[in-house]
Amino acid sequence: MQFEFTDAGRILAGIALLSIVTIEFGGYFLTRVVRGAVPMTPFQQAFARAGHAHAGVLVTLGLVGVLYADLARLDGVVGWLGRAGILAAAILMPGGFFASSAGKDRTRPNGAIALVWLGAAALAAGALSLGIGVLTA
């Protein structure tokens, strides 16, 4: 059996790989935070770390998900959720951590924390679709 990307898988994987540069920039930003060059509350530092960690892990997991979806030849809603759900979580969850802690001297999350929970739902939908799709392929 020869592996071939679907068009959707190829495009999503390419975009995800390019997004790694933004995660790298986030790592550089965190080195500035820990050196004291960027003033943040302990809450903001914790959320910056959480956002950065979620971005890296979820992009990596999303890339693996694209491969599994294409290898299992998933199509339709299951294929779409399997390829894009985890990658959507890689945008929504970190975005929620960063946006909900933005602002001078913030010590509690604002309403943008809802993005974290929306991302959790996207992650669950993607992982369930992918897992069921791979098991039934």
Range of the domain at 18: 7-136
* Interval 7-34 mean pLDDT: 95
- Cα gap 106→124, rounded to integer Å: 30
Count of domains observed in the chain: 1
Are 9 and 69 in contact by the 8 Å Cβ rule? The answer is yes
Q: Give residues with Cβ within 8 angstroms of 132, minimum separation 6.
A: 78
**Dihedral angle, C-alpha 132, 125, 46, 36, nearest 10 °:** 100
Q: Does 119 reside within a domain?
A: yes
Q: Which amino acid is at 133?
A: G
Q: Does 1 reside within a domain?
A: no
Q: Does 2 reside within a domain?
A: no
Q: Does 55 reside within a domain?
A: yes
Check residue 2 and give its pLDDT.
83
- Cα gap 2→20, rounded to integer Å: 28
Q: Which tens digits make up the pLDDT trace of 64-122?
A: 999 999 999 999 999 999 999 999 999 999 999 999 999 999 999 999 999 999 999 99
Check residue 116 and give its pLDDT.
98
